[in-house]
Amino acid sequence: MSTVLPTRHPRLSVRDIAARKGGDPIVCITSYSAPMAKLMDEHVDVLLVGDTMGMVLYGLDNTLSVTVDMMVNHGAAVCRGSQKACVIVDMPFGSYQGSPEAAFDAAAHIMAETGCAGVKLEGGCVMAETIEFLVARGIPVMGHVGMTPQSANVFGGFKTQGRSDEGARIVLEDAKAVEGAGAFSMVIEQTIEPVSRRITEEVSIPTIGIGASPACDGQIIVAEDILGIFQDFTPKFVKRYAELGTDVSEAVRTYAEEVRAGKFPGPNHVYGAKKS
Ligand code: KIV
């Protein structure tokens, strides 16, 4: 008699994601913790451990002080919490811009310690050599062009990219450089729609949009933004699918009220209570 074991589906790989160019939309979302990864895993293709974590979880003003250790700890948690999605971990500011060798050391450390499938790094032409260096040494790279938050100080803020002819040319060249360097996909962030659409048409790897275009091969969003948990500011490209922030506040208000009124814990929430 043979035992029928439940089928365990392997995780989506970066090759599976790359093969989706022009096909079914690639669904990506950020995740920073094991429980959230577990809840979202079955619904999405890519879980991105983004450095937005610095702002969303740690209350930082921007992503610049996120460290490799933070990415490793949260990346490992997301890998433990998920089974199906392709997990990509962001390389934090300062860990890869110095040299291709420094980038390799940081990326190899992140991959070895988390078990993720690849890393994401920001920048186009200027990072092409580094992307090529990493890919040649076994590190799959997701690129990130357009508005790259780690360079917000250079842009003068979180400014929409591609508005002028010159701006559009820069983003297009960046995207082509990322493609040419061997990235398996790229995020296009906060870049005007026609430019994002044109990039998607002209590159052979999937584009993942955020504030970009419905024509992109996939979309990414910060989970806490669409769930109504992160309410510090809401960019135009965010759509709210839930108001969990309000639910959390209401649940904790009721809990506090019940504790203060002596209603919680009740007999069902303690051990060995005498039956009355
Ligand atoms: O850090 C992040 O979460 C990101 C996405 C918003 C693309 O880079």
Q: What is the distance in A from the centroid of ligand 1 to the CA of 136?
A: 24
Spatial CA neighbour of 22 closest among 211, 207, 195: 207
Does 150 have pLDDT greater than 60? yes
Residue 165 · residue 195 · CB < 8 Å: no
Q: Averaged over 93-102, what is the pLDDT?
A: 98
pLDDT tens, position by position, 47-89: 999 999 999 999 999 999 999 999 999 999 999 999 999 999 9
Measured in Å, residue 201 CA sits from the centre of ligand 1 at 22
If one counts every other C-beta atom within 10 angstroms of the C-beta of residue 153, the result is: 9
* Confidence at 233, pLDDT banded by 50, 70, 90: confident
Distance 30 CA to ligand 1 centre (A): 7
Catalytic entry in 179, 189, 193, 224: 189
Reported pTM: 0.95
Point out the ligand 1 atom lying closest to the alpha carbon of residue 120: 8
Q: Which two tokens stand for residue 192?
A: 């005007």
**Closest among 51, 22, 71 to 185, alpha carbons compared:** 22
Instruction: State pLDDT tens for residues 212-222.
Output: 999 999 999 99
Tell me whether strands 86-90 and 118-120 are parallel, antiparallel or unpaired. parallel
Contact of 75 with 86, CB cutoff 8 Å: no
Q: In CATH terms, is domain 14-242 a member of 3.20.20.60?
A: yes
Contact of 240 with 223, CB cutoff 8 Å? no
Q: Say if ligand 1 is within 6 A of residue 187 CB.
A: yes
Tell me the pLDDT tens digit for each residue of 163-173.
999 999 999 99
- Ligand 1 atom nearest to CA at 189: 7
Q: State both tokens at 153.
A: 């100080």
